[in-house]
Amino acid sequence: MSIFRSLLCGVTVFMPLLCARAEDDAIARGREIAHDVYKGNCLACHRVPGDPSAVTLANIGPPLVDIRKRFPDRAVLRAQIWDSTVRNPYTVMPPFGKHHVLTEEEIDLVVDYMYQY
């Protein structure tokens, strides 16, 4: 019983660290996709003032700030990235999911990244 308890305590102590590490990895992968000119290429149109690595002079799309306030429901942000023409048929934002520019997983990672700002 003591071995089981020790293992359980070890998992309890390290699980939050593992989860935090996985979250950091997801954000980093999302940043890579968002900045990649062959993938998300978000910086072609958007500024991300909270991310010092997001260097751009773009001003076509709105700056990506206060994303949690603007999109309190992650599903709405995800849907916007998947196909922004649903909300605005005249948008210049590409429908990244609908046109298979990004995979389901890549869109989720970009949402993780955007939710930081």
Mean pLDDT of successive 10-residue segments in the chain (117 residues)?
Answer: 52 52 85 96 96 95 96 97 97 97 97 94
C-alpha torsion 56→39→28→111, nearest 10: 90
What is the distance between the alpha carbons of residues 117 and 105, in angstroms, rounded to a whole number?
Answer: 20
- What's the CA angle centered on 80, arms 56 and 37, to 5 degrees? 35
Q: CA 11 to CA 28: how far, in whole Å?
A: 25
Q: How far apart (Å, rounded) are the C-alpha atoms in residues 98 and 113? A: 20
What number of residues does the chain have?
A: 117
Residue listed under structure tokens 């102590």:
13
pLDDT attached to residue 7: 47
* CA–CA dist 86, 6 (Å, integer): 52
What pLDDT sits at residue 24? 85
Is 40:108 a contact under the CB 8 Å cutoff?
A: no
Domains of the chain with bracketed CATH: 2-114 (1.10.760.10)
